[in-house]
Chain A
Amino acid sequence: MSQGEIIESMRARAEKAAAVVSSAATLEEAIAYAVNLTAEEGGTTLAAPGMDDAAREALGKACGEKGITLLDSPLRDKMTRIHTAFTWADRGIADTGTLVLNSNSEELRLATMLSETHVAVLPTDKVVPSMDELEGYMTDHFKNGAGYVAFITGPSRTADIERILTIGVHGPERLHILLAENLDGGEK
């Protein structure tokens, strides 16, 4: 499979799992996407753990223009108020449309678990065909003691009432993936 086909599969599978998939050519575009989406949804807050200083600064500016509060650490104080989580994804798994997030940071976990909407930027060169190719990544990740990794495929869901699929139980109700070529700006 070519990387193009891998990305196509990533997109198709993620959409099948009820994620919204878009592209972002620059970090500014990704930020604008997250901020505009938050505003459209009537959200007033955004948490962005794991962004580097430059990204945070640009975010702060974009949020300010839309009257959105960029939440600071620690998020423990703001657990009931996180509308959007804006994060990087570490890897993508094409054949299931899955995001892989290094979730060692508690801030990142709180943001991605408690928000209503999760927007994740996925660098296209980090998408692998299947879970099998993550063996090295997982080994490295857990080599040095404690760790927490999340595979995320679409928004939170349940079918516990009459087997009717319903989105958004305990986790985010919406998952947006921004496929980004040649983009960098935080810890991954």
Chain B
Amino acid sequence: MIETPETDKAFKKQIKTSLEKDFLRKTLNNFFTSYRQSRGNVFADLDLEGMREDVACMKDAGIPNLSELFDEFKKNAEAAGSIVHVARDAEEANCIIAQIAKENQVKSIVKSKSMTAEETFLNDHLEKDGYEVVETDLGEWIIQMRHEGPSHMVMPAIHLSRYQVGDLFSDVTAKKQDPENIEGLVKVARKELRPKFIGADMGISGCNFAIADSGVIGLVTNEGNARLTTTLPRVHVALMGFDKLVQDYSSAVKILKILPRNATGQALTSYVTWIKGTNECATAPEEKKIQHMVFIDNGRLELAKDPIFSQALRCIRCGACANVCPIYRMVGGHTFGHVYIGAIGLILTPFFHGKEKAREIVKCCLNCQSCKAVCPSKIDLPFLIKNVYAKIQDEDGGKPFKTRMTSMLLKNRRLFHTALKTASKMQGPATDGPYIRHLPTFLMGEHNFRRLPAIADRSLRDDWKYVKPKVKNPKIKVALFGGCAGDFIYPEHGKAFAKLCEAYNISVDYPMDQTCCGLPTMMMAQMDTAKEIALQNVKAFKSGDYDYIVTLCASCGSHIKENFPKLLTKKGAVPADVQAMADKLIDFSSFMNDVVKVKAEDFMNLGRKVTYHYPCHLIRGLGVEEAPMALLEKAGVDFKACDESQVCCGFSGSFSVDFPMISKTMLDHKLDNVSATGATTLVTDCPGCTLQLKGGIKARGMNVTVKHMAEVLLEEKK
């Protein structure tokens, strides 16, 4: 049975248990690395972006018309002898299928893999009615016998070791099976399940696409069990969500070209099976298969009308959003999801299985954008996750005290900034240089994995009048977006930027009405506050006639560029001033490299050993990959490449406070990799990452200095 924690305490306990499972950690670590490689290889010579765009557009065209597509499908399928049903919810789908079994005097049922059947808990229902139901996909069969839910959409038994499978199969066959012989274990399934296929009266399959203009369904599989399931028994039932409907063959091909590649790194699965109507079947009456198609709604048709969430119906269930998720990598699918797991699971769970099952897991997202970057249907998963979180909080009424406080404080810039200043004075005796020496008690315990920075004595805004570059006839006019951490914790980043600008004859303004970008409020799902703060910032930057708005914080940058327009859309349109701010926004590295076009001869060659950490919001949020590498090359450093340089450091603002155990494990990975490079300077482009990395390095006592790119360039500047 699937048990999903419904309280904070239970969830944290489960996280802790998962983190302690050595096999799980090792296997998911390997998977995390090898998936990226095989995906990279299989798309190497293809137009991946074009293919993703094709799927997203095709799906978007279909989603508003699911009912029409269904009518067309039904007409065509029924003309070929199929019987087409609609189930409003899970219970109804299960009853329809049980009824089909009853009418046809079915005793035993074989099933091929179907996530939709997992969604409805179909097996439980049929077993309760007295039917023998056997899963025939190897992974599904294993977890069925272990009474577990899938821990991955494509590889349901990924959490199990060969030894666990070996033990299970020894029991099943009443004969000792050698766990080291995986081929032998696979043959056990072949041998044990053959008689089940041959003896079954009914086969239940899922469906990867239902083609409206022909009434054909398509099944994408590797093992060959779906072919047997749809061929041997006299009755075939296909269960599918309304979202599986597509217009025509060419739409299906768009999915087919990307699904196996993105799921398992295969150009195509071993089998793609296309079925229409009542095919030959010697054991059925009139030698024609009894064929039923069951379409389940379960909230999908409502979802299709939702301006934000309808995107979720683009999902083609490739599982990739789990494969690249650093949280999934740490804790696995039984902790990071309910029935549907990974990023899409966080989104679908409240709609399909109720908010109780989603309340805790939905908090556990870093907003690292990894899922979004690989989704073949281009679903904006992190944004939808935050919206689900907001929806649940709204429905629950009262928001947590901490959330309300933060929200209130952040909405009022003066109050917020005064609070920060007061904090900087109050912390006096507790700080040890730039680190907080004694954590306030509420931050003790699990947070000791890194040293937290102190708030600077003087913020960037306090000193701006001295810092502001003195230039006449500037060649470029920019405004600086500081961000909270850049303003109050690491003002030295902004100061370095100002000095560089002075050297390159660039004027810089620091509009004093700017405030927190609002990303932290969105992370806490305070969408209203996030909107309000976004507006304050748009106003603060509106009057200046700037060529660019530069930020040294990749997180603020990607939030402004991507989320401001989404948050502030009015009646389907983005207001001009909002769009202007988003358009002018540029990150530091891109600005220096692509706009200022700094040259190698501008820099001394100090020859220090440097490695780089890509902030999530730079590489995936803003899509910047080359600029930092180009700058480091121009600066003439001795660059040491770092493994997993594009993987999240585990900071993600309040996430690291809410889920310290996950944050710590991620930071450990990161610092192990940094350590292995032998570099003495670790460069990045985000004060949030700086905070996490510096804190971890200090706690570990590593001999590595963390610097913002702006500081490095300034130090290297001739």
Contacts and interface: CB of A to CB of B under 8 A. Distances in A.
A105 B31 CA distance: 40
Contact of B267 (A95, A142, A170): A95
Given A139-B214, A158-B186, A169-B225, A149 B231 contact: no
B267 A163 contact: no
A17 interface: yes
B189 A169 contact: yes
A96 B225 contact: no
A149 to B, nearest CB: 4
Contact of B190 (A97, A161, A163, A170): A170
B155 A159 contact: yes
Interface string B235-277: 0000000000000011001001100000010111111111111
A84 to B, nearest CB: 16
Contact of A168 (B190, B215, B282): B190
Contacts of B269: 153
Contact of A149 (B34, B138, B274): B274
Contact of B186 (A114, A153, A161, A163): A161
Interface in B211-236: 214-216, 222-225, 227-228, 231-232
Interface stretch (B59-67, B157-165, B358-366): B157-165
A164 interface: yes
Contact of A135 (B222, B231, B250, B274): B250
A106 B268 contact: no
Interface string B530-547: 000000000000000000
Contacts of A161: 138, 142, 157, 160, 162, 165, 182, 185-186
Contact of B271 (A96, A132, A150): A150
B79 interface: yes
A134 B274 CA distance: 13
Nearest to B158: A163
A65 interface: no
Contacts of B222: 156-159, 169
A131 to B, nearest CB: 5
A186 interface: no
B278 interface: yes
A93 B216 CA distance: 20
B438 interface: no
Given A142-B276, A170-B190, A170-B193, A158 B253 contact: no
Nearest to A74: B282
Contacts of A171: 223-224, 227-228, 270-271
Interface string A136-151: 0011001001111111
A28 to B, nearest CB: 30
A53 interface: no
Contacts of B423: none
B264 A159 contact: yes
Contacts of B155: 159-160, 163
Contacts of A74: 282
A162 B162 contact: yes
Contact of A104 (B27, B160, B279): B279
Given A76-B282, A160-B156, A151 B271 contact: yes
A23 B599 CA distance: 59
A179 B73 CA distance: 37
Contacts of B182: 161-162, 164, 166
A129 interface: no
A145 B81 contact: yes
A148 B275 CA distance: 5
Interface string A92-108: 01011110000011100
Name the residue among A17, A114, A170 with the largest chain B CB count within 10 angstroms: A170
Interface residues of B, number: 67
A175 to B, nearest CB: 9
B137 A160 contact: yes
B80 interface: yes
A154 interface: yes
A2 interface: no
Interface string A37-65: 00000000000000000000000000000
Q: How large is the interface on A (under 10, 10 to 19, 20 to 34, 35 or more residues)?
A: 35 or more
B198 interface: yes
B27 A162 contact: yes
B249 A135 contact: yes
A103 to B, nearest CB: 8
Contacts of B27: 162-163
A109 B161 contact: no
A109 B279 CA distance: 11
B80 A169 contact: no
A158 B274 contact: no
B80 to A, nearest CB: 4
B194 interface: yes
A155 B231 contact: no
B274 A113 contact: no
A169 B282 contact: no
A32 interface: no
A13 B224 contact: no
Contacts of A104: 279-280
Contacts of A134: 249
B136 A110 contact: no
A152 B270 contact: yes
B703 interface: no
A139 B283 contact: no
Nearest to B112: A170
A147 B277 contact: yes
Interface string B1-31: 0000000000000000000000000010011
A132 B253 contact: yes
Contacts of B80: 145-147
B633 to A, nearest CB: 37
Contacts of A146: 80-81, 276-279, 288
Given A105-B280, A158-B138, A159-B264, A138 B227 contact: no
A162 B138 CA distance: 12
A79 interface: yes
Nearest to B193: A170
A188 B279 CA distance: 17
A131 B279 contact: no
Given A113-B231, A142-B276, A169-B190, A96 B268 contact: yes
Name, among B162, B186, B282, the residue most crowded by chain A CB atoms within 10 Å (CB to CB).
B186
Contacts of B286: none
A77 B283 CA distance: 11
A128 to B, nearest CB: 12
B158 to A, nearest CB: 7
Contacts of B250: 132, 135
Contacts of A160: 137-139, 142, 155-157
Contact of A170 (B223, B277, B281, B288): B223
Given A161-B157, A162-B161, 15 more contacts: A74-B282, A105-B280, A132-B250, A142-B216, A145-B277, A147-B80, A150-B271, A151-B273, A155-B270, A157-B270, A159-B264, A161-B186, A163-B34, A168-B187, A169-B190
10 contacts: A80-B194, A134-B249, A146-B80, A146-B277, A151-B273, A156-B271, A161-B157, A163-B34, A168-B190, A171-B224
Instruction: Return the 5 tightest CB-CB contacts between A and B, nearest first.
Output: A171-B224, A146-B277, A160-B139, A151-B272, A156-B224
